[in-house]
Structure 1
Amino acid sequence: MTSSEPEWQRADVTLPTPWTDRVGPEDVLAEYPRPQLTRPRWLNLNGVWDYAGWPFSPEEPRPVGYGERILVPFAPESALSGIGRRDEVLWYRRLFEVPGDWRGQRVLLHFGAVDQTARVWVNNQLVATHEGGYSAFSADITDVLRAAGPQELTVRAEDRTDIAPFPLGKQRNAPGGICYTPTSGIWQPVWLEPVPGHRVTELELTPDLAGFTVFPQVTGGVEVELVVSAGGAELARVRGAAGTRLRADVPEPHWWTPDDPHLYDLTVRLLDRHGDLLDEVASYGGLRTVSVVPDAGGRPRIALNGRVTFLHGPLDQGYWPDGGYTAPTDEALRFDLEKTKEFGFNFVRKHVKVEPARWYHWADRLGLLVWQDMPSLVVSFDGPPGPAPDPVPEGKERFEEELRTMVRQLRNVPSIVAWVPFNEGWGEFDTARIAELVKHLDPTRLVVANSGINCCFSRPDLGAGDVYDDHTYVGPGEPRVQDHRALVDGEYGGLGLVLDEHRWPGPPNAYEMTAGSEELTRRYAEVSTRLAALVDELGLSGAVYTQTTDVENEVNGLLTYDRRVTKLDEAVAAEHNRAVIARGSFPAVETLKPPENPA
């Protein structure tokens, strides 16, 4: 960078978090970004990049120069990026050098996520194209690297929120109400990794209550070895032919639960025909199962490890006033989950967003069950409630492709116990078929075909999936469906409190406003008392309170948007939350009887 070129500077922050001032051009999100497939050597490419961005135009010129600096991986809409505006066409550039001790290895370039489409060049050679704003992708760049000196990395991203038929979640060009500032371009970590030519490319982990089945996907090699350990002590070691599944039973298995989130260390080695090591990766997993079982009265209930377990937690949107879709630091990313535990919850619903891999790592480590939503296709909120028209075919294809990728990329996460393809009918189509598709992709978890099937833009209930999910505000809802599905209040609450020095500009909104912390605490207790009664009355299996934090103009969080203030009495709320969980958790009957015909 010459003296005439601009330096990176953080844009004005509307609402700083406790971590805002800790973010600078050095060591940006410097933790290893892929905790369930690790190698010891890697190079972080987060940091200051050259940048040029503008609104979309059909006749777009390639930039003559890069007049700005952006802090990757923060989207340009965020203050931490240093840009602070909405761009639809985005060009990024940076130089990097390959460490000398990587010589003889293949070099992989990884992107956590780029919203929505991306083309990537290294040294002016196209190495990757990608569609989908929530999925990771990689490229082997070895053959385009220069023999020595700086290497040039260029990325062009395009993001046309509200126009192109892509999964968007709650992103909108005109945020307000229940929709928020969009995210464009690179918003998850970028990094390099040296790997051998014959290597482990992916792991598929399937736990049960006795051990792990592991399918290492490899290039080359003759044999694979799996080692399971805990606390540094080896517990099991098995070998098999490359390209086959390995089964490792664990002696005296220690099950993963929210109260005791025990994780095992896994090591996978790829060997040649002489038994010599070609590649080694590390991972981790937890022994747990999830199912629907009957209670003593024959009502379907959600069970963790064969025990009926009430899932109670907040709706978690994953937005930050300084970083947008991207948490400012790994500590901040962990903070929301730690507060969720402190509130006495055992569960979180990740709402129409896919997080970076480290968010799931912290859910695994801290002990929180997770429902994972698929980001929704765009839907208009202007019309009256009622089934929305079918998405365009191009949107359906992209949705299904990204849904498949989401399940594949997150299927090893032990804390995830359910997939949620649709929310309140937003972009809903072929509901029963999509639910069956997800079950086929991952038969080990529950499927919530449409969260909020009773409201909004939802289509008629076809009985698909494993869970009937009711949304009622303030609620709690009282679903009285009697079939094979467990009953859950997938959204309720939404009690609001405005704290003027800790809120986003614009008119605040909530489903019910309170005048102060004391009133908010009282109303939370009242709603929780009713919820506890419904656990017995209806046989509820779970409840999702809206929400973890305020998000932009929504002021119905347990915490303010800047994470600086807990808005109600945490001890009172935690006591009620733990009581609800205890009310709905008990040993289960072994098998689920077919539902009786109500007629």
Structure 2
Amino acid sequence: MGSPRRRRTLGALLAASTAVAMIAPAVPASAAASNTWSDKSAPLATPWTSQVSPTNALPDYPRPQLARPSVAKPEWQSLNGLWEYQPSDGYTKPTFGQKLSGQILVPYPAESALSGVMEHSDFMLYRRTVTVPSSFRTGDQRVRLNFGAVNYAATVWVNGTRLVEHTGAYEAFGVDITDALRKSGKQEIVVGVASPVDSEDIPVGKQRLDPDGIFYTAASGIWQSVWLEPVARTSLDAFTATPNTDLKSFTVSAAVNGPTKNAKISVKAYAGKKRVGSVSGKASSQLKLKIKKPRLWSPEDPFLYTFKVTLKRGKSTDKVESYAGLRTIGLELVNGKQRIVLNGKPTFLLATLDQGYWPDGIYTAPTDEALKFDIQKTKDLGFNTIRKHIKVEPARWYYWADKLGMLVWQDQPALPTGRNDRLSSSDKANLRSETSRMVDQLKGVTSIIGWVPFNEGWGQWSVEAAADLGDQVKKQDPTRLVDSRSGSNCCDTPGDPGNGDVIDYHQYQGPALPAPDAKRASIDGEHGGLTLSVPGHLWPSASINPYGAVKDAAELNDKYVANNDDLRDLGAKNGLSGGVYTQITDVEGEQNGFFTYDRQVLKVDEARIRASNLSVIDAGSEPAPAPPAGAPGLGGVGHWTLDEGQGTTAADTAGANPLTLRNGATWVEGPTADAKTALHLTGEQFADTAKTVVPTRGTNFSVSAWVRLDSADGAFQTVVSEDGDTNSAFFLQYSGADQRWAFSFVGARALATDLGKPKTGQWYHLVGVRDTTASTLTIYVDGKAAGTTSVLATPDVATGVLAVGRGKFGGNPVDYLNGSVDDVKVFDRALSASEVADLEGAGAQ
């Protein structure tokens, strides 16, 4: 589906309000007015909006990892600034030598206020004339025209000669324009662009032609820097320094433009001004560069080595300067659980979700200082990681992440949502290709420690597709982590691909607390989303998406810290390797940032949030706490024989927490002669204690009961549970969705899968065991283990009553038992398999 429009797009063109308390300003009060250089009014002005002008459009050198000949003195000519511009029909070949009808400020996307256009077009033309400096054309030098990124398909003409066609919104590309240049005078550059956005099945991230909720304004056309540079006939197209596992050396490699036969490369490494290593060899080889007295890169010490690289072939000489940090990332078995380790040390990756959107520039930050701002503020708030969410940033963003010391999960921009069943083989192949090109382009970035090919199944046509793409990425880059599917527990095409380095769940508000397995670490890939709107700083006409609303800044701070306490105590201390909070700034209809979308207001107390975040990171490197021993024997800390046979209360023979029968619960004959009576429940009948009986936060516990069902259909039925603030802390239950016995947390369920559907009218002995050391929930049926699932913990901690015959979900009583229950016990420790067998063998009492 959608193929007729695609032929035209890619074929024809290439051929042719809530009160806020305690809010502190994040930026100086002299923030910019909303009018831009063109008098287009930005819907929201950032502090940098007014700094942008036709003579000051992102003037910084755009590629710090391949500066020619050096970062301090690069030879280049910026083509950022005013270009002629007009929409086109996508068919008609440009008329060269003629002015276009309008103008646009490059490199801001056409939909942005900073571009001066502020409109979307499916097809557009850019034109500029430029004088190439004579110094660029001396000797055998060649002139290259470089584009940071163009959304989506671009055709480039120079003086009427078509030189390159490129597709992909997130990839840098360039072309040698030397042979198309006139001997002197003005040179004409024309760029034709097709930008179908989500009208085609192409990687678009969160861009939408009709933005709403969690999807945002499109960013079409040229949206990253454009520049000219002189290069040698044989020149470096890329240079990569990959840290080796010995943490004493790099493997260096190069990609070369032009003739390569007999080309040789030499690399000198510097720590500041001191040379600490060198290597030379064939340009096509991978070379090992040893470092004297190595200094490792980390968020605490983001030290970067400088590389001076010379490529020679005959009389041709090309010199560039690059950099990289010496660090490794991987997995290691720590205290029996797979953990993420940075430089061989367990490191909790505490991240914000970072969308990379701006109210004035949309996909393009107004200035380099603005680009740096989000990363610096993330670090100031105490985070050590950013999840760059389904967008690829300009090279300077990664430079700042490298330089400031911020670890990065890098997402692949997603295909449009809701079309998984209609994707063609070419759509799938294109996604694989663009993913490969992204990894290739960013493989030298020190701060990137992991790749995320799919998010929540968006554009994922099968569970196997995530496994396949994850394997592709891991084969391409075995030095980094691969999270094949972020949010494998939710959304589109749910399911664990079973491969990669990471198990990743999403839970709002969360946190999600998946357990590592034998081969993979586990992380919370998204949680939080606490929403606070700030009047005067809202994106106009956006539908607010308040999926975690709070009433004021005080509540935002309190809830964030409480959420972090769960992440620390239930997650980081027990083997979780990371968490991703949504998010660093508001974006259009989402008001769940620490900062407003315009970066004018910080909604939280920075010092308090920082202290909380640092406590989570610190906990990730500490040994897991040992659970309390609990009461010995099989007496339990609560025991209700339910032998009263009359009245409205049932005694606790092991403690002091009698059950009160509710809503007309009655008595029936028990399962054995010794168990004289049992409790019978129908409809909304249940029994409960007056207070919490067994603690569940970060500790072991077990619960047992005899139960007989009167019906076994698609409805859930809870035998025993204990109330949390919103949901039950655990459920010993009949799972109607699976039609099996289960022991469950919200989001995790140990199922007695192989036993089949329970029979009505038959008594069963159920035991649920929570073991924090093993990170498991286990369901036993009639004395035998029947199912286990792995889970670190649940943020649904017992704070209320123990209930027999119902559960709690979403703040409401649910899942009433339709049947009989007898001999309920709870234990403040994890029973062993032999103890469960003994308990069942003793029968109901």
What is the TM-score when the length of structure 2 is the normalising length? Answer: 0.66
Q: SS where residue 577 of structure 2 aligns?
A: strand
Please state whether the residue corresponding to 2:470 is helix, strand or coil. Answer: helix
Q: Which residue of 2 aligns with 1:124?
A: 160
> Equivalent residue of 2:586, what SS?
coil
1:180 Cα deviation after fit: 0.1
1:292 to 328, 331, 334: 331
Identity level (%): 47
Equivalent position of 2:369 in the other structure: 331
Change in CA separation of 1:421 and 1:10 when aligned onto 2, cut-off 3 Å: farther
Work out whether 1:497 is the aligned partner of 2:532.
yes
Contact 1:8–1:69 at 8 Å: present in 2 too?
A: no
CA contact (8 A) 1:428 1:459 kept: no
**How many angstroms does 1:267 deviate by?**
1.1
Return closer, same or farther for 1:424/1:58 CA change in 2, 3 Å cut-off.
Answer: same
Deviations along 1:172-191, one digit per CA (max 9) or x if unpaired, are 11101000000111000000
Q: Secondary structure at the match of 2:392?
A: coil
- What residue number does 1:487 align with? 522
The equivalent position to 1:376 in structure 2, one of 403, 414, 419, is 414
In structure 1, which of residues 43, 50, 54 is the aligned counterpart of residue 84 of structure 2?
Answer: 50
Which residue matches 2:478?
443
- Indicate yes or no: 2:606 matched with 1:570: yes
From 388, 391, 397, give the equivalent of 1:359: 397
Q: In structure 2, what residue type is equivalent to 1:191? A: W
- CA spacing shift, 1:224–1:528, aligned 2, 3 Å: same
| Aligned equivalents of 1:374, 1:586: Cα separation in 2 | 32
Letter in 1 for 2:200: A
| Offset at residue 379 of structure 1 (A) | 1.1
Aligned mates of 1:538, 1:488 — CA distance in 2: 12
Name 1:320's counterpart in structure 2: 358
Shift of 1:17: 0.1
Shift of 1:598: 6.6
Output aligned runs, 1:30-179, within 5 Å. Answer: 30-39=59-68, 40-53=74-87, 62=94, 65-104=99-138, 105-179=141-215
* C-alpha distance after superposition, 1:204-225 (max 9, x if no partner): 3211211111012334354211
Distance in 2 (CA, whole Å) between partners of 1:112 and 1:100 is: 24
Q: What residue number does 2:45 align with?
A: 16
| Greater relative contact order (CA < 8 Å, ≥ 6 in sequence) | 1
Is residue 414 of structure 1 aligned with residue 446 of structure 2?
Answer: yes
Secondary structure in 1 matching 2:322: strand
Alignment check: 8 A CA contact 2:573 2:622 kept: no
The aligned residue for residue 229 of structure 1 is 270
1:559/1:567 contact within 8 Å kept: yes
Greater alpha carbon shift after TM alignment, 570-579 vs 425-434 = 425-434
For 2:267 and 2:422, the matched residues in 1 are separated by 46
- 2: distance between equivalents of 1:310 and 1:59? 53
Displacement after TM superposition at 1:537 (Å): 5.8
Corresponding position of 2:562: 526
Is the 8 Å Cα contact of residues 390 and 427 (structure 1) preserved in structure 2? no
**1:554 equivalent among 590, 603, 622:** 590
Take 2:80 and 2:581, find their aligned partners in 1: how far apart are those partners?
Answer: 35
2:197 match: secondary structure: coil
In 1, the alpha carbon distance for the partners of 2:504 and 2:58 equals 36
Structure-2 separation of matches of 1:217 and 1:114: 22
Checking the alignment, whether the CA contact within 8 Å between 1:10 and 1:81 is kept in structure 2 is no
User: Offset at 1:201?
Assistant: 2.3
Amino acid at match of 1:45: L
SS at match of 1:519: helix
**Alpha-carbon distance, 1:570 to partner:** 1.0
Whichever residue aligns with residue 426 of structure 1, its letter is: W
Alignment correspondent of 1:400: 432
Identify if the C-alpha distance between structure 1 residues 36 and 587 changes in structure 2 by more than 3 Å, giving closer, same or farther: farther
Query: How many pairs were matched up?
Result: 576
Distance 1:335 1:58, change over 3 A: closer
1:344 equivalent in structure 2: 382
- Of 445, 453, 461, the residue aligned with 2:496 is 461
Q: What do the CA deviations read for 1:381-403 (whole angstroms, capped 9, x no partner)? A: 9xxxxxx4262222112111111
- Aligned pair in 2 of structure 1 residues 586, 265: CA closer, same or farther (>3 Å)? farther
Cα distance in 2, alignment partners of residues 391 and 140 from structure 1: 35
Q: Does 1:250 align with 2:291?
A: yes
- In structure 2, the residue corresponding to 1:81 is in which secondary structure? coil
Cα distance in 2 for partners of 1:572, 1:160 equals: 44
- Which residue is equivalent to 1:384? none
Measure, in 2, the Cα distance between the counterparts of 1:58 and 1:233: 55
Which 4+ runs in 1 deviate beyond 6 A? Answer: 595-599
- Distance (Å, rounded) in 1 between the aligned partners of 2:91 and 2:300: 57
Partner SS state of residue 135, structure 2: helix
Q: Which structure has the larger Rg?
A: 2
TM-score (norm 1): 0.93
Who is 2:16 aligned against? none
Counterpart of 1:432 in structure 2 is 467
Secondary structure of the 1:502 match is coil
- 1:265 matched residue in structure 2: 306
> What secondary structure is seen at the aligned counterpart in 2 of 1:301?
strand
Q: Which moved more, 1:163-172 or 1:142-151?
A: 163-172
Residues 8 and 70, structure 1, Cα contact 8 Å, conserved in 2: no
> Could you tell me which residue of structure 1 aligns to residue 319 of structure 2?
280
Q: Contact (CA 8 Å) 1:228, 1:267: kept in 2 or not? A: yes
Stretch deviating more after TM superposition (62-71 or 11-20) = 62-71
Report the Cα distance in structure 2 between the residues aligned to 1:285 and 1:586, rounded to whole angstroms.
29
Query: What is the Cα deviation at residue 586 of structure 1?
Result: 5.2
CA RMSD of aligned residues (A): 2.0
